Amino acid sequence: MKFNPEKCSIEDKRMQPFIDPDEIWSLINTVKPTKENVREVINKSLDKQRLTLKETAILVNTTDPDLIEEIKQGARILKEKVYGNRIVLFAPLYIGNKCSNNCQYCGFKVTNTKAIRKTLTDEEIIREVEALEDNGQKRLILVYGEHPEYSAEYIAHTVKLVYSVKKGKGEIRRVNINAAPFDIQGFRTIGQAGIGTYQIFQETYHPEAYRWYHLGGKKKDYEWRLTALDRAQEAGVDDVGIGALFGLYDWRFEVLALVRHTNHLEACYNVGPHTISFPRIKDASGLSVGDKYTVSDADFTKLIAILRLAVPYTGLILTARENANVRREVMQFGVSQIDGGTIIELGGYSKAKLLNREQDLNREQFKINDDRSLNEIISELLDQGYLPSFCTACYRKGRTGEHFMEFSVPGFIKRYCSPNAILTLAEYLMDYATPDVQIKGWNAIEKEIQQLEGHMNTLELRRRVERIKNGERDLYF
């Protein structure tokens, strides 16, 4: 096939596949980075412009250690420019692990007879959410296997249930979803329940590799999954998250495919994904994936930096699959969201107040490697100069999808994101933090407010912080 590296060979059409593996491989095989063009690409990105596939391929193919350092440095600077020092915190809540699919990497696959299957009852969901609220969580992602029991109506029901649970001063203000792809009507039903982001990972974008790992159930259908978030957009769910499971296929291919997916959504719906996730395969009950495509820590760091530069306005999510050291290291190169206080055993939050418990892989989808409490994670973030945030303002003010992109303009962070991070951190400090974290947190807030001087109405911000100290909650700009 003849292909033009500036223009994708497959024309973007709504709900039509858009990945051409030959095109991606031909970029990987032909693009030769030079010092000059690597620097040009980094500079374009620092100018907050999204990179083309070819430009991303230049970064992907860079192997000179000094230039890789420049890529990482560029990512660090860009992150600071676009996101400031905020890190948004969330927690996953597994609702049910029944599954009809047979994904070779996943502990929930239908053929894994050792997996202990469970769907939380409504009462159990309420207890889990109460425990999460007691820890200070405000943003959850609900996770489900793919099973007839987990219909769109059922998922919508669980979303509404989670929003309805209020304990003390606690409440969940944003419920995101990671579940199977639906048809347009299904997405509409779930969207109407008031979800934040609908997240679906393609796992691998390479069609043949996809076939190796997906041996049964609906998930076998590569194209149904590939076009899932198009259907979400058609259904009015304009806030979507994409991802690839790194370790299934060549990481360079997946990075370019993630950028291609971003282009596709922008071309068809005028809005790119809200977030990109890049989980690496971890141990799981019955795991059956070779190590041919294992991604080293060095390549993992590089690919995160490249994604940061390639899609400056897309949030990057790093989960507790990675251990604390890896998280600490890679976060600086562009991550904007992490989970904290994570437990993925079904019913685990209310049961295991003890966090250092042993994980039982027959009860969990995969091994998590950072089981620190939310308070410990916030403590470390503050030590490292980050501003922990539980902000949910944009989504609640309707600043999502295309609108959200419009707001991603200079000054927006200083007027909205940082003040809202401060207000949500103030709530956390008042209601949940340990005394040492309270001291660090209030110091950080004072420093942040001083830095916002001249960029927004800090008098009003200080007033709102005082109102929070006096017991008011959920104040935002």
Residues at the contact surface with ligand SF4, assessed by CB under 6 A: 99, 101, 103, 106, 108-109, 145-146, 219
When CB distances are held under 5 to 8 angstroms depending on the partner's kind, the choice from ligand SF4, ligand SAM, none that residue 109 binds is ligand SF4
Span 155-194, contacts to ligand SAM by CB under 6 A: 178-180
When CB distances are held under 5 to 8 angstroms depending on the partner's kind, the choice from ligand SAM, ligand SF4, none that residue 334 binds is none
- Among 89, 95, 162, 245, the residue binding ligand SAM under the rule CB under 6 A is 245
Q: How far is the CB of 145 from ligand SAM (least distance, A)?
A: 5
Cβ proximity of 255 and 307 under 8 Å: yes
- State which residue, 180 or 445, has the beta carbon closest to ligand SAM: 180
Q: Which residue has the tokens 């690839």?
A: 244
Span 93-112, contacts to ligand SAM by CB under 6 A: 105-106
When CB distances are held under 5 to 8 angstroms depending on the partner's kind, the choice from ligand SAM, ligand SF4, none that residue 50 binds is none
**Residue ranges with strand state E in 31-116:** 86-96
Q: How many other CB atoms are there within 10 angstroms of residue 148's CB atom?
A: 8
- State which residue, 109 or 302, has the beta carbon closest to ligand SF4: 109
- State which residue, 103 or 193, has the beta carbon closest to ligand SAM: 103
Residues 130, 428, 314, 402, CA torsion sign: positive
- State which residue, 233 or 365, has the beta carbon closest to ligand SF4: 365
Q: Does 27 bind ligand SAM (CB under 6 A)?
A: no
Q: How far is the CB of 179 from ligand SF4 (least distance, A)?
A: 9
- Provide the 8-state DSSP code for 93: E
- State which residue, 106 or 317, has the beta carbon closest to ligand SAM: 106
Q: How far is the CB of 70 from ligand SF4 (least distance, A)?
A: 36
Q: Does 67 bind ligand SAM (CB under 6 A)?
A: no
- State which residue, 257 or 391, has the beta carbon closest to ligand SAM: 257
Give the nearest residue (CB) to ligand SAM.
366
Cβ proximity of 95 and 144 under 8 Å: yes
Q: Using CB under 6 A, which of the segments 63-71, 274-282, 304-312, 394-402 binds ligand SAM?
A: 274-282
- State which residue, 144 or 333, has the beta carbon closest to ligand SF4: 144
Residue 453 CB-density burial (10 A; 0-12 exposed, 13-18 middle, 19+ buried)? exposed
Q: How far is the CB of 277 from ligand SAM (least distance, A)?
A: 8
**Residue ranges with strand state E in 278-429:** 315-318, 337-339, 387-389
- State which residue, 103 or 430, has the beta carbon closest to ligand SF4: 103
- Among 38, 281, 378, 444, the residue binding ligand SAM under the rule CB under 6 A is 281
Q: How far is the CB of 107 from ligand SAM (least distance, A)?
A: 7
Q: How far is the CB of 161 from ligand SF4 (least distance, A)?
A: 21
Q: How many other CB atoms are there within 10 angstroms of residue 457's CB atom?
A: 12
- Among 198, 253, 333, 366, the residue binding ligand SAM under the rule CB under 6 A is 366
What's the CA gap between 284 and 278, in Å, rounded?
Answer: 17
Span 305-364, contacts to ligand SAM by CB under 6 A: 321
Q: Pick the closest to residue 476 from 173, 225, 210, 243 (CA basis).
A: 173
Cβ proximity of 352 and 345 under 8 Å: yes
- Provide the 8-state DSSP code for 414: I
Q: Does 217 bind ligand SAM (CB under 6 A)?
A: no
Phi-psi region of 393 (alpha: psi -120 to 50; beta: other; left: phi over 0): alpha
When CB distances are held under 5 to 8 angstroms depending on the partner's kind, the choice from ligand SF4, ligand SAM, none that residue 279 binds is ligand SAM
Written as one string, the DSSP assignment of 176-215 is EEE-----HHHHHHHHHTT-S-EE---B---HHHHHHHB-
Q: Does 264 bind ligand SAM (CB under 6 A)?
A: no
Q: Does 201 bind ligand SAM (CB under 6 A)?
A: yes
Q: Using CB under 6 A, which of the segments 46-54, 140-148, 397-405, 440-448 binds ligand SAM?
A: 140-148
Q: Which residue has the tokens 């793919």?
A: 146
Cβ proximity of 266 and 308 under 8 Å: no
Q: Please state the φ and ψ torsions of residue 275, each to the nearest 5 degrees.
A: -140, 155
When CB distances are held under 5 to 8 angstroms depending on the partner's kind, the choice from ligand SF4, ligand SAM, none that residue 437 binds is none
Cβ proximity of 201 and 242 under 8 Å: yes
Q: How many other CB atoms are there within 10 angstroms of residue 22's CB atom?
A: 10
Computed on alpha carbons and rounded to an integer, the radius of gyration of the chain in Å comes to: 21
Q: Using CB under 6 A, which of the segments 82-90, 200-208, 373-381, 456-464 binds ligand SAM?
A: 200-208
Helix locations, 286-364, DSSP H: 297-310, 324-331, 348-351
Q: Does 200 bind ligand SAM (CB under 6 A)?
A: yes
Phi-psi region of 347 (alpha: psi -120 to 50; beta: other; left: phi over 0): left
